[in-house]
Amino acid sequence: MLTSKADREIARLSTLHPKGFDLSLGRIARLLERLGNPHRRMPPVIHIAGTNGKGSAAAFARALLEAAGLTTHVHTSPHLVNWHERYRLGAPGGGRLVADDVLADAVARVAEANGGDKITVFEILTAVTFLLFSEHPADAAILEVGLGGRFDATNMIERPAVSVIMPISLDHESYLGDRVELIAVEKAGIIKPGVPVVVGQQDSDTVREVIVSTADRLDAPCSVYGQDFLAASEHGRMVYQDEDGLMDLPMPRLAGRHQLANAAAAIAAVKAAGFALTGDAVERAMTGVQWPGRLQRLGDGLMAALAPDGAELWIDGGHNPGAAAAIAETLAEQEDRHSRPLFLICGMINTKDQVNYFRAFEGMARHVFAVPVNNTEAGVPNAELAVRASEAGLSAEPIHSPADALKLLRATWDETEPPPRILICGSLYLIGEVLAENGTPPQ
């Protein structure tokens, strides 16, 4: 059931325009011209691309800027529960998700300007971002790339304050290429002549070389993780280092060792964009950062109440093998500190590498409950997904829903064992369903 004006307006557009992506910039350039080119009237932009970690980098950058007292717009995609999550408007004391009337009005104006011409819904919604961010004053804007970089609609930003490229791995191969170096070329397409570039931690030397060579060709000053800046854990603290020296910081609120590198990239990016950061502001950002749906622990709500007593219930929407490896590493660290049986409740879509996703958990997960993803046509049937988990060497079975899986665990749990650690994972669509059912949507 559609509960807001914006929902209804976007649903109407979805019936008129093709779903998915059609990577080019001609259509959105035409639309923005009709709107008076709002993308040229925005505050300084931190533009973030990457396969994994770009959402976390956006969350850290927002926390850093707001801790420094700066009003900050944030665009991320996709959303988890409500379309409004994609548009956070900067305000003194912290940003707020766009009000429904404001979003519905912006969507209607963009649709009217488009006039029924061929376009994708994502392009319309990106134009909405530019319109909203140009009409509401702020000190900075954070813009997350939707897909790829070179031909992503957000790449209409002609001169951002900084371009950020987070870890790159295989994903969206049908759009971006089936080798990481090809994907790196697409992501590096957000680099602009003379604009600073921050390169997050990369597992591939080839990927790093593609990005750095692109920056060199465009005379874009380049700062690379592990070379020009880095972060490490020492004695339960995070130590960040760059050419300006060391900062001794609290560990980031976001779980996982990979978040140290994500936080470091955000610090480097905010500084490269020209914003001053005090040590106190960075400390506040590390302890206050929030990023719903990514290794988020559910401590209360309906779903949490269904789990066995004392269970740890986590959710994570990382949906490719690279993300799974980072999640598995974090869970292994938790297992070392506090041993618990691990169960996965997983739903995925058919564009993702399901077998290699599951392989990250081989030898760790006791059992997988495969569930359907209900709010997209791309959801993998639960029986088929259970087979993919089995092919990866995991014990698996299909089940109707996350709630049913939690109820089954609760009804059959052996009280002589430690309470389980349960991860609901695999698709942001699934995580959105769970947060909505749990009664804890992002705010």
Query: Tokens 């506040």 appear where?
Result: 284
Buried b / exposed e over 210-224, threshold 16 CB at 10 Å, is: bbbebbeebebebbb
User: With 0-12 CB in 10 A as exposed, 13-18 as middle and 19+ as buried, what is 279?
Assistant: exposed
Give me the pLDDT at residue 323, please.
86
CA distance 79 to 172: 18
50 Ramachandran zone, left/alpha/beta (phi>0; psi -120 to 50)? left
Six-digit token string for 421: 């650690």
* Coil, strand or helix at 271: helix
Residue 118 in this model has a pLDDT that exceeds 80 = yes
CA distance 129 to 135: 10
Give me the pLDDT at residue 172, please.
45
Q: Report the C-alpha dihedral over residues 40, 41, 45, 51, rounded to 10 degrees.
A: -50
User: With 0-12 CB in 10 A as exposed, 13-18 as middle and 19+ as buried, what is 420?
Assistant: buried
Question: What is the layout of strands, in order, in the sheet containing 237-242?
Answer: 230-234, 237-242, 245-250
Kindly report, residue by residue over 6-36, the tens digit of the pLDDT. 888 888 888 877 665 566 799 999 999 999 9
CA distance 65 to 245: 20
Of 315, 321, 427, 305, the C-alpha closest to 374 is 427
Query: Tokens 């008129």 appear where?
Result: 16
- Mean pLDDT lowest for which of 42-56, 315-329, 414-428? 315-329
Residue 147: band (very low, low, confident or very high) from pLDDT cuts 50, 70, 90: confident
Give me the pLDDT at residue 18, please.
62
In sequence order, the β-bridge partners of residue 290 are none
Kindly report, residue by residue over 187-239, the tens digit of the pLDDT. 999 999 999 999 999 988 999 999 999 999 999 999 999 999 999 999 999 99
CA distance 346 to 426: 5
The helix or strand, by DSSP H or E, that contains position 370, with its residue range, turns out to be: strand 365-370
CA distance 325 to 75: 26
Mean pLDDT across the chain: 92
Residue 2: band (very low, low, confident or very high) from pLDDT cuts 50, 70, 90: low
Give me the pLDDT at residue 1, please.
45
Give me the pLDDT at residue 255, please.
86
Please compute the mean of the pLDDT values over residues 82-102 and round it to a whole number.
94
- Mean pLDDT lowest for which of 131-140, 164-173, 258-267, 390-399? 164-173
CA distance 252 to 262: 10
Give me the pLDDT at residue 215, please.
97
**DSSP tag of 153:** G
Give me the pLDDT at residue 170, please.
61
Give me the pLDDT at residue 30, please.
96
CA distance 272 to 196: 6
